[in-house]
Amino acid sequence: MARLVREGTGFTFTLLDLDHFKAINDTYGHPEGDLSLMKVASTLKELMGEHVFRYGGDEFAVISFEAPDRVCGKLSQVNRKLKEEVGAYTLQICAGVYARQSRDNERRIFEQADCALYAAKQS
């Protein structure tokens, strides 16, 4: 992200997490939680591209060079694909999306995406 900001490149930054991850770990065990994280990661990479990063715990970050509305559409596809998996529980993500503005630094980009994620979680 720092390089993209330095170069003045436009991009859309997304922070997301796996809904009810603690319940998955508590109910089905940490190995199953790990499998759920791997499924989310592979689905994100498949639909969102190469710039998918595990940020920590059940949180991921995505850098995309597409417009925010396209990113949101792809995130909806991620949830649809995750819900297609038949199992004891359903995986679902929640996301905050922010399009970099010309004067934004990395901190502001992250904070704005984090605020959007928090608002999405509340709704």
> Across the chain, where does the E strand assignment appear?
12-18, 52-56, 59-64, 93-99
Tokens of residue 41, six digits: 């990661």
Q: Which of 26, 58, 69, 104 is catalytic?
A: 58
Alpha-carbon radius of gyration of the chain: 15
- Note if 69 is an active site residue: no
Where is 47: in which H helix or E strand? helix 30-48
Per-residue tokens: 50: 């190469």
Give the active site residues.
Answer: 58
